[in-house]
Amino acid sequence: MFSAPDSHPWPLDHLAERGEPDAAALVLRDRVITHQDLRTRVGQLATWLLEHAAKGDRVASWAAKGEATCLLPLACARAGIVHVPINPLLKRMQVAHILSDSGAVLLIANNGRLRSLADGDVPDNCTVVAEEDLFTQVELCARLGPSDHNPDELAAILYTSGSTGRPKGVMLSHANMWLGAVSVATYLGVESDDVVLAVQPLSFDYGQNQLLSTWYAGGSVVPLDYLLPRDVTKACARHRVTTLACVPPLWIQLTEIDWPQEAVASMRRLTNTGGALTVGLVHDLRRIFPDARLFPMYGLTEAFRSTYLDPSLVDSHPTSIGKAIPFAEILVVNDEGAIAAAGEEGELVHCGPLVAHGYWQDPERTDDRFRPAPKDSMCGGMAVWSGDRVKRDEDGLLYFVGRRDSMIKSSGNRISPQEVEDAAIATGLVAEAVAVGKPDPKLGHVVCLAVRPAAGFSEDVLRNALSQSLPNFMQPRHFRVYDAMPRNPNGKLDRNAIALEFAQ
């Protein structure tokens, strides 16, 4: 079992040094990388990075799960470079924005994705390296040893959609990510003989932490880009997986198929975030995995993870999001700015060392979300005011009530309505557009798009145009065409009225 949790943060790259040398650290499709290999490869990749970028520069990666995307978080940290992982599902319009906004000087991507980019998508000062050619160069480099960087230095920028505008970059320090790994490994009880199946995108904090918390504990990660739910069951059986982390839409798909006993026998724990588990889904998971511990969790990229529900309470409190994780202080603040009483609704405020350093080059949005902690906070300092409404019961358990903003959550993805609207208007086929979410039992929400047509409008042509500019999870499922869009008394487009009409 790994050593007792250490609240003192270290530079992030020290996670590569923790496992037993001969034990498996990363199980790829064609080979196994041991923890000793991990140390060597991270050090070589860090040396290579410093030949192409300087300390503090941003390096982006845009590829499926593989050696490069798994090692770059630690290699960039060792080199003192800031890693910018890009969701492989994104398309050229979103990628171009992230490259430009982050000021990336290097993009590592596979050849297929590179061919999808158009002239002007990659900034002039950004070098492009194909993933397929990367390690033939890296293997010629000497190993750079563990760093002595200040843990408060920036280590990564994770881009996440907001309720308005394009994706925004959340700035995470070495300390944020190190303590996040320690926290999760601690409350999940991850051990050195654990095998974690990584199905979540590594561009998400949920997916990236699967790497970091497992390596903190000295365990093994099996990255998987699945096409069908049955690919997950096959991988669980093949690798004797002990830990599986999913979002609710995937859990629903996984409970609708048969699980062979060899895929269930080794399972120790299941984790969920990105949306609430329903009572029915909890029962289905209990039925399939009777011996596994189930961990419902709540989090936000701006503070990584906030709460988890102890597995012993899942059956009696299936709709609760639990209590604060290690290193987090979670307060419920009412509309008067005071700590809410038991049963009183308020805003969830996250305080402590897991709070990110704000949004990259966006002081206005940073000031809106990152504000001084409430006066009753024990941690003090800067806090994340989540905008999510919660209640705390007499036993201290938290319950999610709703979201302040109009964010659409589908298949575990946070979707900015404005990003969908901007893409629709950019086609020239519509004059106005409003995107809203409609509840869906499997996906959480589906995207709906209301439009006022421009000349030449056709729904089929609009669908085709959006399929070229938006990733699949952002594609509108339902359309509604208006001669005059609903507006509120202030003359603004009435999102609530439009959402109600889609719900009918």
Q: Is the confidence at residue 142, as pLDDT, over 60?
A: yes
Position 416 in a domain? yes
SS3 content of the chain, % helix, strand, coil (to 5): 35, 25, 40
What local confidence, expressed as pLDDT, does residue 1 receive? 31
Read off the pLDDT of each residue in 78-92 and give the average, rounded to a whole number. Answer: 95
Distance from C-alpha of 208 to C-alpha of 217, rounded to nearest angstrom: 15
Position 414 in a domain? yes
Q: What is the pLDDT of residues 164-212, one digit of tens each?
A: 567 899 999 999 999 999 999 999 999 999 999 999 999 999 999 999 9
Both structure tokens of 422? 């901007």
Domain carrying residue 424 = 408-503
CATH number at residue 492: 3.30.300.30
Please tell me which of 215-224, 241-250, 407-416, 446-455 the model is most confident about, judged by mean pLDDT: 215-224
Position 399 in a domain? no
Distance from C-alpha of 493 to C-alpha of 149, rounded to nearest angstrom: 49
Position 369 in a domain? no
Query: Above pLDDT 70, what percent of the chain?
Result: 97
- Neighbouring C-beta atoms of residue 423, cutoff 10 Å: 22
Q: Is the confidence at residue 2, as pLDDT, over 70?
A: no
Q: What is the pLDDT of residues 361-382, one digit of tens each?
A: 999 999 999 999 999 999 999 9
Give the bridge partners for 245, in sequence order: 271
Spatial contact of 306 and 385, defined as CB atoms under 8 Å apart: no
Q: What is the pLDDT of residues 38-49, one digit of tens each?
A: 999 999 999 999
Position 101 in a domain? no
State how beta strands 168-173 and 220-223 pair: unpaired
Position 486 in a domain? yes
Position 359 in a domain? no
Which residue is listed with tokens 């039992």?
A: 441
Position 357 in a domain? no
Q: Is the confidence at residue 4, as pLDDT, over 90?
A: no
Can you give the pTM of this predicted structure? 0.87
What local confidence, expressed as pLDDT, does residue 491 receive? 62
Both structure tokens of 270? 């299941």
Please tell me which of 106-110, 225-229, 298-302 the model is most confident about, judged by mean pLDDT: 106-110
What local confidence, expressed as pLDDT, does residue 493 receive? 79
Dihedral, CA of residue 20, residue 21, residue 27 and residue 31, to nearest 10: -160
The domain tally of the chain equals 1
Residue 489 banded pLDDT, cuts 50, 70, 90: low
Q: How far is CA 208 from the centre of its chain?
A: 7
Distance from C-alpha of 86 to C-alpha of 445, rounded to nearest angstrom: 23
What local confidence, expressed as pLDDT, does residue 8 receive? 85
Nearest to 447 by CA among 466, 464, 461: 466
